[in-house]
Amino acid sequence: MVDTEQVPTHVANARVAPMKPQRVLACILCQQRKVKCDRKFPCSNCTRAGTQCVPGHAVTTRQRRRRFPERDLLDRIRRYEDLLRKNNIPFEPLHGNSTDIATPETADTSQHPSPLENTGSSEYSPRDESGDNGPPKAGFINIWNAWSQSGSPDGSDDNDDEDHDSDSSQVRVRHATVKKALEHMFEKGDDHLLFGARASLNDLSALHPPQVQIFRFWQIYLDNVNPLLKVTHTPTLQPRIINAIGNLGSIEPALEALMFSIYCVALISITEAECRTSFGSERGHLLANYSFGCQQALLKSGILRTTERECLTAFYIYLISIKAESEPRALSTMLGVAVRLAQHMRMHSESANAKYPALEAEMRRRLWWSLAAFDARVSEQSDFKGGIMCPGWDCSIPSNVNDFDLRPEMKVAPASQEKITEATFAVVRSELADFVRNCSYYLDFINPLLKPVAHVSAKSGDLSTLTKSIEEKYLTHCDERNPLHFMIIWVTRSYLAKHTLFEQYQKQWRSDMVVTEEQRDVALCHALDMFVADTNLISSPLVSGYYQYVATLFPFPAYLHVVQDLRRRAHGKHAQRAWDTMSKNYEVRCMTGWWDPVDNPMTKIVHKAVVQAWSAYEKLAQESGREVSPPFFVTSMQTKSMQMNPALQTREAPQDANFLPFQSADVPTDMDLDLGGNNAQFNFDFLDPMQQPIGGFQSTTNSSAVDLDLKQLDFTGLGWNSVRAPRW
């Protein structure tokens, strides 16, 4: 005999394990009625009904339904792939929606993990806390994974013994199942919340332009818009548009919405004269028609619950096209819808993007960064500091590659190139924004509480290091004779000069040291660099197709900084250069039609500040016995100020410290600083930290010129879009 004491315990237990008792089924009548049976014979339900009770085992036992073996195998493979992905083990996923080869670099490229990021793929389970599996992983826990892992000791979902009759045991609840159930509950739709009820017109083909004009719109988009946005993939989109033109009545809803949005954004990128020449109609009339078509196509595609990147792209381009006519706060709210849709698609999460094929992953990154940049610019104008251009997400910067380098069949993304490509403008913009959104000085203006989750590299670096890196990596390879390269050079330099200026503000605001003349000169030079960049962009015929974008780069912060510095230091080392630089910028903007002093309250503020600064400069010169003649732009602004306020023409202007040369209703109170783009938002308290807040400044020349209290102005009430040409 075998000694049972020498037999392993689990074997002995298996030998003496009791037989599993036979399962008692509900009676036949209770099964048919779908009521609970007490499983006695006769049962209480049959006794109460006075009917014959037939036990369930008395009839032929039906074959128990089991899951298909293929489904079980696929579930297991999916579970094992998740484990490999969590442990950064290279593998090639099985399914078509994850055809890119997952590697440690692509499976988890969260270079800067943040507790604010809920990616759903960086979760850890209780098993990770054991000594065998190392320390627990950082990040949020995916509640659906936690529920599934709690179903059995090893976290598996073994449902082979499921019984699907009325007395079946627990069934695993999947996330996708719950989502489908919620969609079914509200299948009537709620898209009317955004654009109102859909029109009765189901076929939108009548709203499209003629075929010849569709090709013309497409070419304008490729020339004027696509190089700056890069949210569409030309090699794959162009054939689809060509095919759609042949049968406009059967276009996919998302593609149709994208086509209408392209019509709209192409229109705002050309002048009124060009529109009449190319399309034989007024731009406003065409824009109204195609905007309506885009709205209807978006409603048709279910925009508020869409999971299609192409549909969201159409919505984003549509919002760009209506920016010129939209109040900033209303546009910011609409843009918030687009951002939330992108977050639902988890575009902000690199671990989610890495699961897609190379082309789709890259387009998701481009769209997310474009949304973030646009949201930052609109948030500035709407006085909203809750935008998404801040730490808390880890979407990778788009790759510096041409569109033709990205193909749908690719499993591995092409390497980012070190030369200038079609996507360089979008790439540089993203790199700059990614650095700035994690900088300490920027977060002091936005939300200092986010500093602990900012990138370590950005917190420890400064803009001078970034400037040198960008110059060496990109700008030195640009050819100024190329329109796109020209834009890359000067938009980048304008951005860097602007943020370096505000970095100086933050340093001086945090410091208790007295500001030196050298520090004032450095800050003034950064402001003048903004003027130089803007003048080069506006005056160059190379960027005529990009004028609508260039118009948004108006150097308003530079004007305010320079005129305040000139009032304090009328004869500083850089005073003459400052007057010459401002004069040249004004002349170029007036010559090209990008200055509208009559209707735009923003230019009225600039006029007053410049005239006051010149008065201080002129008075100091007279006291020193020198004769100075005002530059052209000062004379022009003085004339415009008198035209805006007839009281000045009769020398009867009230001597009130709050007097402005335009109606006070144009400039409400309680203003925060909007920097007119370039992804930053700051408060006027930081505009001149080198002495004291601007409103309390006392002129060193004892000039009687009126002080302009910038903190008493509210940019959200100003006519942001009252310039002569639309801006995007």
The model's confidence at residue 91, banded by pLDDT at 50, 70 and 90, is confident
Alpha-carbon distance 274 to 258, whole Å?
A: 23
Judged on CB neighbours under 10 Å (0-12, 13-18, 19+), 305 is: middle
What average pLDDT does this structure show over 243-260?
Answer: 92
Over range 683-710, report the average pLDDT.
34
Say what angle helices 358-381 and 424-436 make with each other, to 10 degrees. 60
Own/partner contacts of 122-126, CB < 8 Å, gap of 24 or more, are 122/351, 125/149, 125/155
- Better pLDDT: 78 or 699: 78
- Where would I find the H helices in 569-600? 575-591
* Residues 502 and 441: beta-carbon distance below 8 Å: yes
Residues 6+ apart with CB under 8 A from 223: 545
Contacts of 675 (CB under 8 A, 6+ apart): 380, 498, 556, 557, 681, 682
Burial zone of 668 (CB within 10 Å; 0-12 exposed, 13-18 middle, 19+ buried)? middle
Q: At what angle do helices 483-510 and 556-568 cross, to 10 degrees?
A: 50
Contact call for residues 639 and 645 (beta carbons, < 8 A): no
Q: Are 551 and 725 in contact (CB under 8 A)?
A: yes
pLDDT of residue 425: 95
- More reliable by pLDDT, 373 or 132: 373
Q: What is the C-alpha separation between 326 and 66, in angstroms, rounded? A: 58
Per-residue pLDDT, 525: 92
**Whether residue 42 has pLDDT greater than 80:** yes
Report CA-CA distances (Å) from 334 to 193, 235, 307, 388.
11, 30, 17, 14
Question: Which range among 21-25, 487-491, 665-669 shows the weakest confidence by mean pLDDT?
Answer: 665-669
Q: What is the DSSP letter of 7?
A: S
Share of the chain above pLDDT 70, in %: 66
Sorted by sequence, the CB contacts under 8 Å of residue 9 that are 6+ apart come out as none
Q: Which of 390-404, 481-495, 567-581, 642-656 has the lowest mean pLDDT?
A: 642-656
What pLDDT shows up at residue 101? Answer: 41
Total Cβ atoms within 10 A of residue 398: 24
Top mean-pLDDT range of 177-186, 363-372, 673-682, 707-716: 363-372
Q: Which H helix or E strand runs over 517?
A: helix 517-539
Q: What is the pLDDT of residue 19?
A: 61
Residue whose structure tokens are 């671990």: 351
Range of weakest confidence among 205-214, 544-553, 684-693: 684-693
Alpha-carbon gap, residue 473 to 492, rounded angstroms: 12
CATH class of 24-56: few secondary structures
- Cα 338 off chain centre by: 8
pLDDT at 451: 85
Backbone φ/ψ region at 636: left (φ over 0), alpha (ψ -120 to 50), beta: alpha
Judge whether residue 120 has pLDDT over 70.
no
| Cα separation, 106 vs 110, whole angstroms | 9
Rounded Cα–Cα distance for residues 674 and 682 (Å): 7
Q: Among residues 412, 316, 371, which one has the least CA distance to residue 107?
A: 412
Helix axes 283-300, 253-268, angle to 10 degrees: 160
Q: What's the pLDDT score for residue 58?
A: 61
| pTM for the structure as a whole | 0.69
Q: What is the pLDDT of residue 200?
A: 59
Specify the DSSP element, H or E, that contains 563. helix 556-568
Peptide bond into 136 cis (omega under 30): no
Q: How do the residues of the chain divide into helix, strand and coil, expressed in percent and rounded to 5?
A: 60, 0, 40
More confident residue, 687 or 513: 513
The pLDDT value given to residue 646: 56
**pLDDT at residue 368, rounded to an integer:** 96
Lowest mean pLDDT among 122-136, 309-323, 575-589: 122-136
pLDDT above 60 for 12: no
Most confidently modeled range among 123-127, 192-196, 252-256, 582-586: 252-256
Please name which of 671, 681, 675 lies closest in space to residue 712, comparing C-alpha atoms. 671
- Give 91's strand partners: 102
Which of 171-180, 230-239, 307-316, 655-664 is the least confident region?
655-664
The domain limits of the chain are 24-56, 206-488, 502-510+517-643
With 0-12 / 13-18 / 19 or more C-beta atoms within 10 angstroms meaning exposed / middle / buried, residue 407 is middle
At residue 49, the pLDDT reads: 83
- Taking 80 as the threshold, does the pLDDT of residue 551 lie above it? no
d(CA 231, CA 362): 10
**Quick check: 534 pLDDT over 60?**
yes
Look at 352-356, 533-537, 628-632 and tell me which has the smallest mean pLDDT.
628-632
Percent of the chain with pLDDT over 90: 30
Rounded CA separation 172/15 (Å): 32
115 has a pLDDT exceeding 80: no
607 vs 666: CA distance, rounded Å? 14
Tell me which residue has tokens 């100003």. Answer: 718
Closest CA to 369 of 440, 313, 439: 313
Q: Of 686 and 243, which is predicted with more confidence? A: 243
Distance (Å, whole) CA 68 – CA 717: 64
